[in-house]
Structure 1
Amino acid sequence: MPASALESSEPMLAENQVRSLLAPFELDLTAHQVGQLLTYLELLLRWNRSSNLTAVRTPEECVTRHFGESLYLTRQVALRGSNLDIGSGAGFPGLALKIALPNLATTLLEPVGKKRAFLKEVVRACQMESVEVRPERLEEFAERHLLPGVGTASLFHSATSRAVGGLDHLIPTALRVLKPGGHLCLWLGRQQSRALTEGIPGLAWRPAIPLPLSESREILVGVTGPGT
C-alpha cells in the first residue's frame, strides 16, 4: 500500500523534515530511500494504534530514535553480504538498515505473529527484495541453520539486535551463525554495554559508538575471530 493511501490521524512529515531530523546522524540517503522511510513510518504509526509495536508515539521521535539510531551503524561499519536481525520487533534495526543498504540480504527473526505480519507489510509496501521474515527464536534458528554438511556459505556476515534481553545467551548463540570476521552489532544502554566488553572468547569488541542525541545509548560492535 503506498504511503499516500494510508489513513493516519498523526501528522506525517515531509522529506525535508525527515532529512532535518536525521541530520545529526550524518546519513546519505536518496529521495527514494527517504520515501521508503516515510512509508515505513506511516505504517508504524497506523499499526501501533492496535498492535503496540513501539512506546515511541510521535513521528519526529520515531525518525530519530528508530530510524536515526538504527541507520547510524552504516556510518561506522561497512555492512555487506547478509545480515541476521535478532528479535526484530517493529523492524529496528534490521529493516531500517535494509532501506539504507538495499543489497544487504536480510533475515528477520520475530516469534510474535502480529509483529511478523507488520514486518511483511513493510517489506511489501517498500518493495524490498531479499528479505526473509522467520518465526524462530535465535536458538531454534541456529539449530536448524547449522545442520551437518551445510557449511560456512550459509553463515551471516553480520548480526544485529536492539533491546533484546538475555544477552549472556544471545551472544554465544549469535556467534555460531556468523562467518569468521563477521560483525555482531548491539544497541545497548551505556552501563549494559560496559558490562559486556569483558572477555567473550572468539569476539573482539571495538570501542563503543555513542549515539547522537543520546547520553545513555550506544552501539557495541564485536568482530568474530577465525576460530569462532
Structure 2
Amino acid sequence: MHEKPSRESMRRILASCGIELSAERLALFWRFYELLARHTRALDLSRLTRFDDIVVKHFADSALVPALCTLPRPLLDIGTGAGFPGIPLKIMLPDLELVLAEPRHARVEFLELAVKELSFEGVQIYPHLVSAHSPLEARGVITRALEGADETLARVNHILPAGGRVILMKGPSADEDLGELGPQSAAHFALVDDREYTIPSTTYRRRLLVFEKTSSYRKLTYRIFTRQENTATVITSADNRRFKELKKMAGGGPVKKTGAVLVSGKKLVLETATRFPERAETLVTYDGYAETDAGMNALVAAFAGNDALVILKKALFNELDSFDTNAPLLALRVTEPPEWDGALFDGCTLLVPFQDPANVGAVIRSAAAFGAGGIVMLREAAHPFHPRSIRASGGAVLAAPLYRGPSLGELPALCARHRDSFYALDMRGEPIGAAAFPERFILLPGVEGPGIPRDLPARRVAIPMSGAVESLNAAVAASIALYAWKAAHTRRF
C-alpha cells in the first residue's frame, strides 16, 4: 500500500530511512516535493511519479550521503536533472556551496524556480553539458547514475585540484565500473572509499564510490560569456577602443603614446608578470584558450580578480599575437629611457645603432648578461620596447640600464671627447684580443650593412674569423666583443 502525499507521511518515511529532520528542513523537502509534483509531467523531470518512490529513491537516497562521506566544497553536481542529489544535500547542509549542472533547458528552468522558491544561497546553476573543456572549478564532484565511472572521471579531471574528490552514487553492480577504469583514470585518481549499503527499511541496494584526485593536472578553458563574464572585459569587435590600443602596442607603436608594450610567449609572460607586478596592466587571452599549466591558470585568475583580464574573439587575438604563441599576452606599463648625458659608465658603455628590433633585443640581452654599465640607444636604432626586441631579449630590455643617446652624425664629437676610450667594431681593425679595454670605455658595433662610419676617429677592433664567411651578424659580433671584454676584465681582476 502506497502512502498518500502529506508532510507527516514524508517525515515518517524519511525517519524510517534513518533521516530525522527538523521542522525547517521538513518544510523545505515538502515544498520541493510540491514543486516536483506540479511540474514533473510538463517538464519531464523524473520517471518516478508515486509519492513514496520519490521520497525514498530521490529524497532519502540523496539525503543519506552526508552520513556516508564528507562532501567537499564547492561541490559540483553534474547531470543533476531535477536537482538530485544536489537539492536534498543543500537542504541537509545549508552552508554547502553547490553548483547544479544540467544542460536541458526545461530542467534548468525548474532548477532556477526551485532555488528561488527554497530561498537557497550559495547555489549556482550551470546550464550546459559538463565536458572536458567546461570552465568550472570545484573541490568535489557528485553524480548519480549518470554514466560509467571512467567517463565521469575523464569528464571532470580538469575541474578538480589535487586532493579533490569524485563521489559516484551507484547501484549494486558497480563492479563493472571499477573493471572498466582506463589508464588515464588510474593515472589521476585513486579509489579511497567503496561502500555498499541498503537504504534502511527498504530493499533498495546502493553503492557509494569515492575517488580522490592524486595528480595536479588542471585544464581550464576560458570562454566568452561563461565563467569569466563578470570578471573579464570581453571584446568581439575590431572597432573597440581598447582593442585598437592593444593593436598599437602589438605593432610597436610609440611608447610615449601607448605607455605600455605587449609581452608575448608563455614563459616570458609568466616571468614578467611575476617580476614586475606593479607594471603588469592587462592580461589578454582569447575565447577557447585552454591551459593546463598551474602557474598560468593562477595568473589568469589573479588578473580576473583585479578586473584586468581581457578575452578576445580568436580572430582579433590573432591580430595581436605576432609570434603565433597562442598563449596570453601581457600589457606592461613602460616609460621611455632617460636621456644620456654623455658620461661613461663603469665598465662598458654600449652604443646600440641597430635598426632591426631583433638585433636590438639580442644585443641588450648580451649586454645585460656580461654586465655592461649602460646601454645607449642611438636615434637611428629600433626601439628597445618593440615587441620583437622584447622577445629577442628574453625580457632583458625591461630591466636593462637603457638610455636615449645621440645620432650617428653626432658621434665624431663624442669620439673626440672620449678619444682614448672609444672603441668601434670594424672588420679592418686590430684583433680584439690585443685590446686593453680601460676601466670605462665606449663600444660601438657597426650598423647592419654599412658598418662603422668611415670618418669616425675611434680605435677600431675586429673579431678574427676563418674567412669561411664574409661577416657576422651585427648582434652576434657585438656579443662576442662584450664577452672578450668581460673575459679580459675577469682575468685582470
Same-fold call, TM > 0.5? Answer: yes
Q: Is the 8 A contact 1:88 1:108 kept in 2?
A: yes
What are the superposed Cα offsets for residues 37-80 of structure 1, whole Å, 9 maximum, x if unpaired? 00000100110121221111112211111010011111111224
Mark the CA change 1:82 to 1:122 in structure 2 (over 3 Å): closer, same or farther: same
Give the secondary structure class of the aligned counterpart of 1:64. helix
| Unpaired segments ≥5 residues, structure 2 | 218-493
Kept in 1, the 8 Å contact 2:149–2:178? The answer is no
Q: Specify the alignment match of 1:217 in structure 2.
A: 206
* Aligned residue number for residue 48 of structure 2: 56
Superposed, 1:64-213 pairs within 5 Å as 64-139=56-131, 142-145=133-136, 155-165=137-147, 167-191=149-173, 193-198=174-179, 200-201=185-186, 202-205=188-191, 206-212=193-199, 213=202
RMSD, aligned α-carbons:
2.1
Matches of 1:207 and 1:166, distance apart in 2:
15
Amino acid at match of 1:186: L
Q: Following TM superposition, by how much is the alpha carbon of 1:31 offset from its aligned partner in structure 2, in angstroms?
A: 1.2
State which drifts further: 76-85 or 61-70. Answer: 76-85
Distance 1:31 1:226, change over 3 A: farther
Distance in 2 (CA, whole Å) between partners of 1:115 and 1:106 is 17
CA distance in 1, matches of 2:88, 2:172: 22
Alpha carbons of structure 1 residues 45 and 26: separation in structure 2 relative to 1, 3 Å: same
CA distance in 1, matches of 2:194, 2:72: 21
For residue 12 of structure 1, give the secondary structure of its aligned residue in structure 2.
coil
1:207 counterpart SS class: strand
Separation in 2 of the partners of 1:49 and 1:77? 33
Distance 1:209 1:42 in 2: 31
- Contact 2:14 2:20 (8 Å CA) reproduced: no
Which amino acid is the alignment partner of residue 135 of structure 2? R
Deviation at 1:167, TM superposition (A): 4.2
Q: Give the Cα separation in 1 of the matches to 2:40 and 2:204.
A: 27
Helix, strand or coil: the match of 1:79? coil
Instruction: Report the CA distance between 1:34 and its aligned residue.
Output: 1.0
CA distance in 2, matches of 1:158, 1:144: 15
Measured in 2, the distance between the counterparts of 1:137 and 1:71 equals 24
- Residue type of the alignment partner of 1:182: G
**For 2:168 and 2:29, how far apart are their aligned partners in 1?**
22
Deviation at 1:183, TM superposition (A): 2.1
CA contact (8 A) 1:89 1:110 kept: yes
Mapped partners of 1:179, 1:35: distance in 2: 36
* TM-score normalised by length of structure 2: 0.40
User: 1:156–1:177: 8 Å Cα contact kept in structure 2?
Assistant: yes
Which residue of the partner structure matches residue 6 of structure 2? 13
Q: Which amino acid aligns with 1:225?
A: T
8 Å CA contact retained: 1:25, 1:68: yes
SS in structure 2 at match of 1:29: coil
Higher helix share goes to which structure?
1
Amino acid across the alignment from 1:204: A
Which is worse superposed, 65-74 or 131-140?
131-140
Identity %: 27
Per the TM alignment, residue 114 of structure 1 is displaced from its structure 2 partner at its CA by: 0.4
Query: In structure 1, what residue type is equivalent to 2:209?
Result: L
Residue matched to 1:25: 17
Deviation per CA, 1:134-193: give whole Å up to 9, x if none. Answer: 1111116x4323xxxxxxxxx3221111121354322222132123222211122222x1
TM-score, normalised on structure 1? 0.82
Detail structure 1 runs of 4+ shifted over 6 Å in the superposition: none
Q: Which amino acid aligns with 2:153?
A: I
By relative contact order (CA 8 Å, sep 6+), the higher-ranking structure is: 1
The separation in 2 between residues aligned to 1:64 and 1:31, in whole angstroms, is 19
Paired residues in the alignment total 207
**Is the partner of 1:176 in helix, strand or coil?**
coil
Q: Cα distance, 1:210 vs. partner?
A: 2.0
- Does the CA contact (< 8 Å) of 1:109 and 1:133 recur in 2? yes
Secondary structure of the structure 2 residue equivalent to 1:223: strand
Matched residues in 1 for 2:196 and 2:165: separation?
14
Alpha-carbon spacing, 1:187–1:80, altered in 2? closer, same or farther (3 Å)? closer
